């Protein structure tokens, strides 16, 4: 059986007309009868190309302010009829239904309208009814009908009808049908999520239509993919393709630096999703050098991020280090030229972008979803639990350490001094182990912990951590509090002139 079909008629009803003109011109050259509605009909007429108004087929005008144009048996019969079904063929003749061989649709931009902050009434009007119905109908009947479901497929369709003189194969029609159901399912998911923004229905619908195949996953034997719009967050200036692990580190870096967005020049170095160095200083060069001093060993092969412009002086220091990725909201031109000397080094300009407020991860045979930890501890949150109050300098260091602690794997302890990360204990099974790890690292890199502060992501059930910290030189502690044995730690601090503040907020990160 010959499954190649030549297009003789087309229904075109689109929102985005970018790239539509050459398609219409080509269909006209191939003597295709074109049906259309509303603005698309006017567009085709203005090209000087004959077009049949859909209302001439249905004998009904566009009604209800344009809400109903194509919803009619004569339209959907022309799309859904099975050309090898005798009953369908007879009914097409009986009801004088025109055959429609191709349907070209581009839906109302629902997601863009939501993102624009439009009113509810404007958003509701951008829920496409006729277009989505046309897409589903034509895709269902792919054996006989071609569906072009969005502006993204215009070019592919034009190539198809140009190269094949207006004919399509069954395989081509099935490919377009798959693209159509991708469009329709994503569109419906976006609408549902808009209506369910208060989570009245405990249902998860995730749809990402822009995906990229990565070189591999965490390890070479694992496949890896990224689904999202990377280009809306970054302009990539240079370097190799980002890997799965690069992307995880970039995500961790962006979330951490978000805590310091409006601070003085701040620079962070991350490795395996944790900060191994971070500092806030008067200049970006000073911030980088002091961040590097936090752990120059771990910084090798790390991801670097700044909260402000990277100038040439900073770039000259960065260029001495082997690093995978450098991220900043801007770079001086000469800084970029220098950093590009390493051909594989990835340079990213971070744009203003809205990040999701929920996190999603697989778990067992299902999925875990939660609100992101969007609380940043501030001075107003602090409750002094000890007789000794922290100094203004210590408060600034405590809040600095707390921001880092929030973005470090639990169990974690962060030690900081003068807005510089001295060391952290990351991902330990015991808070005591985390503290000992942090102290050992700080000492190994010759930090003087006298007058330093300590941040913990959770409370202390025993006074052992504050005792160890005091002996190392720590003078102030920030923790959430809430243990039934808080008094044990408070008493030790009172007896040893250590200031301790409670935030009331735990920052576990698993």
The pLDDT tens digits along the chain (510 residues) read: 568 899 999 999 999 999 999 999 999 999 999 999 888 999 999 999 999 998 888 888 777 877 777 788 888 899 999 988 889 889 889 988 899 999 999 999 998 999 888 998 999 999 989 899 999 999 999 999 999 999 999 999 999 999 988 999 999 999 999 999 999 999 999 999 999 888 788 888 888 888 899 999 999 999 999 999 899 999 999 999 999 999 999 999 999 999 999 999 999 999 999 999 999 999 999 999 999 999 999 999 999 999 999 999 999 999 999 999 999 999 999 999 999 999 999 999 999 988 988 899 999 999 999 999 999 999 999 999 999 999 999 999 999 999 999 999 999 999 999 999 999 999 999 999 999 999 999 999 999 999 999 999 999 999 999 999 999 999 999 999 999 999 999 999 999 999 999 999 999 999
> pTM of the full predicted structure?
0.85
Tell me how far apart the terminal alpha carbons of the chain are, to the nearest angstrom. 58
Query: In angstroms, rounded to a whole number, what is the distance separating the alpha carbons of residues 68 and 153?
Result: 25
Contact 356, 258 (CB under 8 A): no
Place of tokens 């698993």: 510
Bond before 381 cis per omega within 30 degrees: no
Which residues on neighbouring strands pair with residue 274, listed in sequence order? 271
Count of CB atoms situated within 10 Å of the CB of 467: 17
- Active-site residue set: 140, 272
Query: Could you give the CA distance from residue 151 to residue 109 in angstroms, rounded to a whole number?
Result: 11
Helix 130-140 to helix 73-80 angle (10° resolution) is: 30
Cβ–Cβ under 8 Å, residues 8 and 146: no
Tokens of 62: 């566009």
Handedness of CA 370, 371, 372, 373 (dihedral sign): negative
- With 0-12 CB in 10 A as exposed, 13-18 as middle and 19+ as buried, what is 448? exposed
Closest of 83, 119, 118, 84 to residue 99, by C-alpha: 83
Phi, psi of 413 (to 5 degrees): -130, 135
Alpha carbon distance 239, 345 (integer Å): 5
């Amino acid at each position: 059986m010959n499954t190649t079909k030549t297009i003789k008629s087309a229904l075109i009803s689109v929102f985005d007309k970018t790239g539509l003109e050459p398609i219409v011109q080509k269909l006209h050259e191939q003597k295709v009868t074109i049906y259309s509605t509303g603005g698309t009909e006017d567009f085709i007429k203005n090209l000087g190309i004959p077009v049949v108004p859909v209302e001439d087929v249905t004998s009904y005008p566009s009604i209800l302010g344009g809400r109903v144009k194509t919803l009619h048996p004569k339209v959907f019969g022309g799309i859904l009829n099975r050309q090898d079904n005798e009953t369908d063929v007879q009914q097409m003749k009986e009801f004088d239904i025109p055959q429609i061989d191709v349907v070209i649709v581009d839906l109302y931009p629902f997601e863009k309208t939501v993102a624009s902050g439009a009113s509810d009434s404007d958003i509701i009007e951008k829920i496409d009814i006729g277009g989505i119905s046309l897409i589903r109908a034509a895709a269902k009947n792919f054996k006989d009908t071609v569906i072009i479901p969005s502006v993204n497929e215009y070019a592919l369709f034009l190539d198809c009808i140009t190269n094949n003189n207006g004919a399509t194969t069954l395989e081509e029609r099935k490919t377009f049908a798959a693209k159509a159901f991708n469009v329709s399912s994503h569109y419906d998911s976006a609408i549902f999520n808009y209506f369910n923004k208060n989570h009245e229905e405990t249902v998860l619908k995730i749809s990402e239509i822009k995906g990229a195949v990565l070189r591999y996953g965490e390890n070479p034997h694992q496949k890896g993919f990224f689904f999202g719009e990377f280009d809306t967050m970054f302009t990539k200036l240079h370097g190799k393709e980002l890997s799965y692990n690069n992307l995880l580190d970039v995500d961790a870096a962006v979330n951490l630096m978000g805590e310091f967005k409006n601070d003085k020049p701040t620079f962070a170095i991350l490795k395996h999703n944790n900060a191994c160095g971070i500092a806030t200083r008067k200049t970006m060069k000073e911030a980088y050098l002091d961040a590097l001093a936090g752990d120059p060993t771990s910084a090798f092969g790390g991801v670097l991020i700044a909260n402000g412009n990277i100038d040439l002086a900073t770039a000259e220091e960065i260029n001495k280090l082997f690093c995978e990725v450098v991220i900043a909201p801007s770079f001086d031109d000469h800084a970029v030229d220098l950093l590009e000397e390493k051909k594989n080094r990835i340079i990213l300009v971070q744009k203003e972008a809205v990040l999701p407020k929920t996190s999603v991860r697989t778990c067992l045979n299902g999925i875990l979803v939660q609100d992101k930890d969007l609380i940043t501890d501030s001075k107003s949150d602090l409750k002094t639990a000890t007789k000794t109050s922290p100094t203004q300098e210590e408060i600034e260091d405590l809040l600095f350490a707390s921001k880092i602690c929030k973005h470090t794997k639990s169990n974690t302890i962060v030690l900081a001094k003068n807005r510089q990360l001295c060391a952290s204990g990351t991902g330990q099974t015991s808070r005591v182990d985390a503290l000992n790890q942090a102290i050992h690292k700080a000492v190994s890199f010759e930090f003087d912990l006298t007058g330093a502060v300590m941040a913990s992501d959770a409370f202390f059930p025993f006074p052992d951590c504050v005792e160890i910290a005091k002996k190392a030189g720590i003078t102030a502690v920030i923790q959430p509090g809430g243990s039934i044995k808080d008094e044990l730690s408070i008493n030790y601090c009172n007896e040893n002139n250590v200031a301790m503040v409670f935030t009331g907020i735990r920052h576990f990160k698993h």
